[in-house]
Structure 1
Amino acid sequence: MLQNLLQHKNLILASQSPRRQELLKALEVDFEVRLKPIDESYPAGMQPAEIAKYIAKKKAAAFLNELTDDTILITGDTLVFKDEQALGKPKDAEEATRMLQSLSGTSHEVISSVCVTTSKLQWVTHDSATVHFRVFSEAEIQHYINTYKPFDKAGAYGIQEWIGHIALLKLEGSYNTVMGLPTQKLYSLLEIAATA
């Protein structure tokens, strides 16, 4: 059991996302949250999965000099891709509206990476899912943005919020991956890291 393997480990989640914190809690492990500001830019020409992994590793790099032998650090990144274009976090309501309009009535890809780092080793992987939305009305888009203010979410939406409940037609892949943390892959990486 993972809980036993992690008994003498200090698990750190470097994410302010309440969704990631909730999902990690669901794995029944003890952890603390530590945050550092990170520049999430990436080199041009990278493939979608590479971008997500690159940013997760960049987030881990900020903590490297403070990791002790008993520490395991978890970082991650989630990106929404529509027609090969990355949709990041919208900077305002206007941009959020444009993003949701582009996702309305179509499918898009969500890629979530997870990076597990110790003082000696690092493992990084990703998972992807395809989300199919029905058409949103303008009133629905405005209600969602005004009520839920999805400015901290890639693609301007959270699948677990109202918009997901009313508009998700089909999901190919893991729901947790769309929420921001591929828990099944993380669980395996933590088992490896705890015994490495």
Structure 2
Amino acid sequence: MSAFDLCLASASPRRMALLQQLGLQCLQYPVDLDESVLPHESAEQYVLRLAREKAQAGLTQSGTHLPVLGSDTCVVFDQQILGKPVDEEDALRMLMMLSGQTHQVMTGVAVCDQEQIHSVLSITEVTFRQVTPSECRQYWKTGEPADKAGGYAIQGLAAVFVQSVAGSYSNVVGLPLYETAELLKNYNIQILDA
């Protein structure tokens, strides 16, 4: 019997912390995939495809017998997928686009083993207050937005930009915990036994 419950196909410390919050013991096995958006692919299709591809790549590359969880999160505003900023100007552009607006955070989660794969999509609406270019530049200098979709981390300093959240908060951090727990039941992983 393994001391681990599942394998996380990601290097994300945030996803690992969220799984540990559920009391799960996880192996971490990052995978490297081309994350380009396919022609005519919606944001919903994009995050679900990447989640499934990451889970399957993690299963294949790790050789584990544990269930493997893959996940992908994107920020979407006006049908446009906002990835990780390439530099300060890109982060400023994204944050000013989100200023005073409501955007969506979409996360695809997939879990697979040798026999099956299950996936789910979580969508959260996030509304920013009006932010200034000066605030955005100060925020960039903290280093926090550099590797975050949409150029912000809700669990960090950017919390002061967020006026409201409708839906799963943990989804915005990087992994919707309710939906993930439901998926894991397919692999006999119960968070709280009934």
Q: Same fold (TM over 0.5)?
A: yes
Matched, 1:28 2:23: yes
Q: How does 1:146-185 map to 2 (within 5 A)?
A: 146-164=141-159, 166-185=160-179
Report deviation, 1:46: 1.6
In structure 2, the residue matched to 1:79 is 74
Q: What is the SS of the residue equivalent to 1:44?
A: coil
Measured after TM superposition, the shift of residue 149 of structure 1 is 3.7
Structure 2 CA distance for aligned equivalents of residues 10 and 174 of structure 1: 23
Q: Which residue of 2 aligns with 1:3?
A: none
- Residue 181 of structure 2 is matched in structure 1 by 187
Alignment partners' CA distance in 1, 2:97 and 2:35: 23
Describe how 1:110-129 pairs up with structure 2 within 5 A.
Answer: 110-129=105-124
Distance of 1:19 and 1:151 partners within structure 2: 14
Q: Could you tell me which runs of 5 or more consecutive residues in structure 1 were left unpaired when the two chains were aligned.
A: 1-5
Flag structure 2 segments of 5+ consecutive residues without an equivalent: 190-194
User: Following the alignment from structure 1 to structure 2, what is the Cα–Cα distance between the partners of residues 104 and 144?
Assistant: 14
CA deviation after TM superposition for structure 1 residue 10, in Å: 4.6
TM-score where L is the length of structure 2: 0.91
Matched pairs, number: 189
Partner of 1:11: 6
| SS of corresponding position for 1:63 | helix
- Aligned-partner Cα distance in 2 for 1:86–1:136: 20
Relative contact order higher in (CA < 8 Å, ≥ 6 apart):
1
Distance change in 2, residues 1:124/1:137 (3 Å): same
Percent identity of the aligned residues?
34
Aligned counterpart in structure 1 of residue 84 of structure 2, from 82, 89, 99: 89
